[in-house]
Amino acid sequence: MQMASAVGFEVLRGVSWHTDIKLRAVVEALIGWALGRPKPKPKPKLEPPGWELDAAVQRRSRHQDGPDGSG
């Protein structure tokens, strides 16, 4: 899925907020994943940022598409 850089930043910021993980750490995990590094092991009671990232992109996609799919 492609999105504008401003929208991407909003998604990353939302992931940081929802996971209570610093934005820097979320971005580091995303870059590591893009470079083929293994996902970091989650800390107890914390989901890896990747799970929330997937959910945030899906939420944003539904929001952009609108209920009638008009975008």
Angle subtended at Cα 12 by Cα 9 and Cα 15, rounded to the nearest 5 degrees: 150
User: What torsion do the CA atoms of 12, 51, 42, 33 make, to the nearest 10 degrees?
Assistant: -70
Q: Which pLDDT value is given to residue 18? A: 84
Q: Which two tokens stand for residue 55?
A: 């959910």
Query: What pTM did the predictor assign?
Result: 0.60
pLDDT, averaged across the chain: 76
Over residues 7-29, mean pLDDT? 88
pLDDT above 50 (res 40): yes
Kindly give the residue spans of alpha helices, DSSP state H, lying in 1-71. 5-19, 23-34, 49-65
pLDDT at 9: 93
Q: What is the pLDDT of residue 69?
A: 45
* Residue % of the chain over a pLDDT of 90: 8
